[in-house]
A and B are shown apart, each in its own frame.
Chain A
């Protein structure tokens, strides 16, 4: 939905090539990258947002002033059609449309939002890694069947990339019914091709790299090469891509919620759902939409900044 096909392909291929480069240049690449990250103000901003978000998500729910499900405003008769009380001394961001404390919901919502992002990314990563891994191995083994398996899988992945991701997610959600898990799966499946392409690319570029050839020539077992070189080297691009995918996952989850396919369980607030549910009340209390929207934007921004900075730091081509 967000980062679209063209950019995806190009960047993925670039990122996967990086995997091969690292061992050739030695461990200092990591140190070098980290040093460069520390100097990059965008990276620092991203890291701070990232850290803040994670801390709020983990600790926040224990610190909120009110229960996020307590319909205080309705009990006290403050909520009327067309009337939602705004900010007062005890309720820092006022009430939501069901008379619950908006600030508490926003804080508790961070956890669900993080959970959706992480689980969706992990689902995408797991399936993508499987497909990409099989394709990469097949391509590496070569032969008629190997090439056939590789090209069939990649054609399938290309088709997935070309499918409008939101429609794909909508149809998955139609299959499973609206829930938090649906959103996770739908968003996760959409990111499968990203990871599949990434892993396949990195495996192929590594199998052609000098250090693997050297290791093979030295008689190191294939399985050992895979464990000690190929897998660790694929890790960096995967971490970078996962950070970026987290950002898009949060935004895509919000879009699904807007279309009414999101989490329906109000006991656990989530930013995308809060934003979607605020639509009918835009005229009454625009804040109800603005707070979660801003929270989503800032979080996604943080993840993107950090991910981009990591990618730049690892990419020797941009290192001038």
Chain B
């Protein structure tokens, strides 16, 4: 097991290296560089040339890449060309927002999706079933950003129930510890700050949850239906076990396996939705920041982001592989 982990981690190095070479070349081939973005309409060709020299962009790409590698080895991601702050600082300040938002969306999606999917399966063909299946179809087909605007127009512009933007009311003056605002509020016992942060998560959370919710409802429903038809459930029912016992011990447990697998993988895809949700809700997160960095040709931010995503991806896959061997003794890792 230990050797397996070490080997997989060693595999990470060539993967990252190859990825970084490809990305580096591709990014630097994008037309236009950061210098135009920095100077705007005030830039003259001379000024642009000067900035390119300053940023070392006039050197051969190999030299630039070597410099990038040297920095990466020291775990230094460089300075963002658009915000002029260290890329690591930017990430530390912006990742928590996206993580909070994603967790909120997943909590909503799972908390509503699994019971709803289960009930729909139990009441197959009845009104609730049709409603949840129809609703989940619409959830998949509605553009996220449009849903976000509609939610805001109704619940914050019209009814003033929820805030329409940001992560926390700035007048609260909350203390920052980890940049996870909810956690910070709990840690510092600033209960109002924690509650306010939670309140700010509701609408963006719902908007972002729409697609995973729809998918979880459908997977749960399908998987429960499948299990309900299995022999062991019939056997259990025939044995005279109470409905509750059957449901808990047999149906739910067996139906949850495919759901659990898909939940893990859904979380990654949420990042796409986060780009749109963060933009519409002026929510400080990594998605909108990176989307903007592409437009600004902010090479250090883009390289750093994709490197991190790659590392996370490899690590998650490693954990998934390991957990399979724990769940299913037939799978052996070698």
Q: Check A255–B266 contact: CB distance below 8 A.
A: no
Q: Answer yes or no: B111 CB below 8 A from chain A CBs.
A: no
Q: Quick check: is A164 within 8 A (CB to CB) of the other chain? A: yes
A165 interface residue, CB < 8 Å from B? yes
Q: Does A4 lie within 8 Å of B137, measured CB to CB?
A: no
Contact B143 A4 (CB under 8 A): no
* CB pair B271 A164 closer than 8 Å: yes
User: Which B residues are in CB contact (< 8 Å) with A297?
Assistant: 138, 141-143
A:157-208 near B, CB below 8 Å: 159, 162-167, 170-171, 174-175, 177
Residues of B within 8 A of A282 (CB): 149, 153
Cβ contact within 8 Å between A9 and B265: yes
CB neighbors of B among A1-28 (8 A) = 1-7, 9-10
**Chain A residue nearest to B212 in the complex (CB):** A4
Q: B141 and A251: CB pair below 8 A?
A: yes
The answer, yes or no, to whether A320 is at the interface (CB within 8 Å) is yes
Whether A4 pairs with B153 at a CB distance below 8 angstroms is no
Tell yes or no: A304 within 8 A of B by CB. yes
B146 at the interface (CB under 8 A from A): yes
| Cα(A35)–Cα(B26), bound, Å | 50
- Measured in the bound complex, the distance between the Cα atoms of B218 and A304 in whole Å is 13
User: Which of these binds chain A: B161-169, B233-241, B245-253, B288-296?
Assistant: B288-296
A167 pairs with B269, CB closer than 8 A: no
Q: Does A313 contact B (CB under 8 A)?
A: no
Q: Does A78 contact B (CB under 8 A)?
A: no
Annotate B3-31 by CB proximity to A: 1 below 8 A, 0 otherwise. Answer: 00000000000000000000000100111
Report the minimal beta-carbon distance from B171 to chain A, rounded to whole angstroms.
26
Q: Once the chains bind, are A167 and B146 in contact (CB under 8 Å)?
A: no
Interface assignment of B232: CB less than 8 Å from any CB of chain A: no
Is residue A37 contacting chain B, with contact meaning CB distance below 8 A? no
Our pick among B137, B219, B268, B294 for the contact of A301 (Cβ within 8 Å) is B137
Contacts of A317 in B (CB 8 A): 226
Segment with Cβ contacts to A, from B42-50, B181-189, B272-280: B272-280
Indicate the member of A159, A171, A254 with the most B CB atoms within 10 Å: A171
Question: Smallest CB–CB gap between A160 and chain B, Å?
Answer: 11
Give the residue name and chain of the A residue nearest to B229 (CB): A320
If over half of A's interface residues share one DSSP class (helix, strand or loop), that class is named, otherwise mixed; here it is helix
Contact between A259 and B140, CB atoms less than 8 A apart: no
Q: Check: B56 CB closer than 8 A to any chain A CB.
A: no
Question: Which of these, A1, A5, A286, contacts B273 with CB under 8 Å?
Answer: A1
| B141 and A7 form a contact (CB under 8 A) | no
Name the contact of B146 in the complex, choosing from A174, A275, A304 (C-beta under 8 A). A275
CA distance A305 to B130 in the complex (A): 13
The verdict on A242 contacting chain B, using a C-beta distance below 8 Å, is no
Q: Are A10 and B261 in contact (CB under 8 A)?
A: yes
In the complex, A289 Cα to B287 Cα: how many Å? 24
- A:127-174 near B, CB below 8 Å: 159, 162-167, 170-171, 174
Known contacts A6-B263, A164-B272; is-contact A304 B143 (Cβ 8 Å): no
User: In the assembly, what is the distance between CA of A153 and CA of B144, in Å?
Assistant: 32
Output the nearest chain A residue to B142 by Cβ-Cβ distance: A297
B283: CB under 8 A from chain A? no
A5 — which chain B residues lie within 8 A by C-beta?
265-266, 268-269
Complex partner residue of A4 from B31, B142, B269, CB under 8 angstroms: B269
The answer to whether B141 and A247 touch across the interface, beta carbons within 8 angstroms, is yes
CB contacts (< 8 Å) of A7 on chain B: these are 215, 219, 262, 266
Q: Which residue of B lies closest to A298 (CB)?
A: B141
A2 with B140, Cβ < 8 A, contacts A170-B291, A174-B30, A255-B145 known: yes
Question: A164-B275, A170-B294, A289-B146 are contacts. A300–B265 as well, Cβ < 8 Å?
Answer: no
Indicate if the CB atoms of A10 and B262 lie closer than 8 Å.
yes
CB < 8 Å neighbour of A304 from B30, B137, B219, B287: B137
Flag whether B206 is at the interface (Cβ < 8 A). Answer: no
Scoring B residues 101 to 121 as 1 if CB is less than 8 Å from chain A, else 0, what string do you get?
Answer: 000000000000000000000
CA–CA, A1 to B140, complex, Å?
10
Contact of B291 among A10, A175, A259 (CB under 8 A): A259
Q: How far is the CB of A148 from chain B (nearest CB, A)?
A: 14
B211 touching A2, Cβ below 8 Å: yes
A166, B212: Cα distance in complex, Å: 16
Whether A258 contacts B219 by the Cβ 8 Å rule is: no
Task: Give the residues in chain B near A170, CB-CB below 8 Å.
Answer: 275, 291, 294
Min C-beta distance of A273 to chain B, whole Å: 13
A173 to B55: give the CA distance in the assembly, Å. Answer: 25
Q: Given contacts A3-B215, A164-B275, A167-B294, is CB(A293)–CB(B262) below 8 Å?
A: no
Q: Is B309 close to A, CB under 8 A? A: yes
Contact with A along B285-328 (1 / 0, CB 8 A): 00100110011000000100000011001000000000000000
- What residues of chain B lie closer than 8 Å to A107, measured between beta carbons? none
CA distance A167 to B291 in the complex (A): 6
Q: How far is the CB of A310 from chain B (nearest CB, A)?
A: 15
Asked if residues A4 and B215 are in contact (CB atoms below 8 Å), the reply is: yes
Residues from chain B with Cβ under 8 Å of A9 in the complex: 265
Q: Which residues in chain A, 238-277, are within 8 Å of chain B measured between CB atoms?
A: 247, 251, 254-255, 258-259, 275
Give the interface of A toward B (CB within 8 A): 1-7, 9-10, 159, 162-167, 170-171, 174-175, 177, 247, 251, 254-255, 258-259, 275, 279, 282, 286, 289, 293, 296-297, 300-301, 304-305, 317, 320
Known: A164-B272, A175-B31. 5 other contacts (CB 8 A): A4-B211, A10-B261, A164-B268, A247-B141, A301-B141
18 A-B pairs with CB atoms under 8 Å apart are A1-B144, A1-B273, A4-B215, A4-B269, A6-B269, A7-B266, A165-B272, A166-B272, A166-B275, A167-B272, A175-B29, A255-B143, A275-B146, A286-B153, A293-B143, A300-B141, A304-B141, A320-B229
The 8 A-B pairs at the shortest CB distance, nearest first, are namely A4-B269, A6-B262, A6-B265, A166-B272, A300-B141, A164-B271, A5-B265, A164-B272
